[in-house]
Amino acid sequence: MDSLTGEFTFTRLEKVAFGPGRAAGLGRELERRGLNRALIVTGKTLGRSQLLDKVAGAAASRLAGVFKGARQHVPSQSVAALVEEYQRTGADCMVSFGGGSPIDTVKVAAKRILEGSRPGAAAAHTIDFEAAEVPGGPDLIHIALPTTLSAGEFTPIGGVTDESSHVKGGVADPRLQPRTIILDPELTVETPAWLWAATGMRAMDHAVEVIYSTRHQLIVDTLAARAISLLVEHLPASLKTSAAESVAHRGQCQLAAWFSIFGIMSARVGISHALGHQIGPMWDVPHGVTSCITLPHVMRFMADTAPERFGPIAEGLGVRFDERSLRAAAMECAERMAKFIAQFEVPHRLRDAGVPHAEIGTIAATVLEEVERSNTVGRPVTRENLVQLLEAAY
């Protein structure tokens, strides 16, 4: 038996509080950290919700204001507006409330505030995980209260879209990691069913792609396999039940989202994520929906590439993993995933999401750049491979 070697990269996350009612502790967390002027950042839908009143009430006298301008895919203009609001209110921290859009809006705005960057200057065309490991200077504390399962709150990386080109890039800096995350399933009860399901599949995408990454390791495999099994058990149930029972299932899904992305800074992700990063802003497709569309096809591609890495995926899905028939077992995982996704009322093909067939090849070069940078597949990937995946997903 060979000895295991490797290294695991931790972020600056310090606390995860989870369970029903935990949002009420926001004010105590601000007080503990000596923060007195919190700016809550959310989108227009939650900006009209009574749930916002609950979060604002928890901040109490330490609330500096509420910014309701976060938007899907984080257009650069919304980031610039948040920077202005942060400075206008004299805030000393930010509290994101919602899904990946407000969370990433805070991260990108924090990057600009900390570095004094002009709009757009801080965003790279592809996500650079290595940049998130470089020590930075002063901090800007970010506390996250997520209402979806996309799990962006667990990374120091934020995506932002150039409105003119519709190309999504990213910023990466260890200082952008939220220091406290509050997983309160009661805050998710107004999340639309399609969005809850789609972001649950985004978490599933994290779990699958960290497992079959060339950089995978035992701690990543273990937590990601558990994430898959939790999502299989609790994601459908969270939508089929109501009241306290649904809240309990939603809490399990939130833990699954955490487990799914726990090792992403060490293992990285692969082709499904790279496709989603560009499909989303180019044709205004929510990222969770992109995972519903691309994941089974990429799993089939990876089953031909590295079926031996699918063991923990099979464990999570309850698929028998026969090492004498590795490709067959890996392909069964892909088919099982496609059937799992099919039960949710979300788009399952690019055409269902309104993507024009004539345009699908336009993103291939940018996707390839991200795939090559992440270097997690284990074999060369060509532009033609990516176009074939897009055609299959269409």
pLDDT tens-digit series, residues 137-188 = 679 999 999 999 999 999 999 999 888 787 778 899 999 999 999 999 999 9
* C-alpha–C-alpha distance, residues 81 and 260, integer Å: 32
The pLDDT value given to residue 56: 98
The pLDDT value given to residue 137: 62
The pLDDT value given to residue 308: 97
* C-alpha–C-alpha distance, residues 292 and 290, integer Å: 5
Give residue-wise pLDDT tens across range 232-289.
999 999 999 999 999 999 999 999 999 999 999 999 999 999 999 999 999 999 989 9
The pLDDT value given to residue 168: 76
Weakest-pLDDT range from 28-37, 104-113, 128-137, 339-348: 128-137
Domains of the chain: 15-187 (3.40.50.1970), 192-393 (1.20.1090.10)
DSSP state of 17: E
Greatest CA separation for the chain: 64
CA neighbor of 151 nearest in space, from 107, 209, 211, 206: 206
Sign of torsion over alpha carbons 250, 204, 387, 217: positive
Q: For residue 31, report the phi and psi dihedrals to the nearest 5 degrees.
A: -65, -45
* C-alpha–C-alpha distance, residues 311 and 302, integer Å: 13
Residue 125, pLDDT above cutoff 60: no
Residue type, 202: R
Residue 4, pLDDT above cutoff 80: yes
Q: What is the pTM of this model?
A: 0.94
Structure tokens at 71: 């938007």
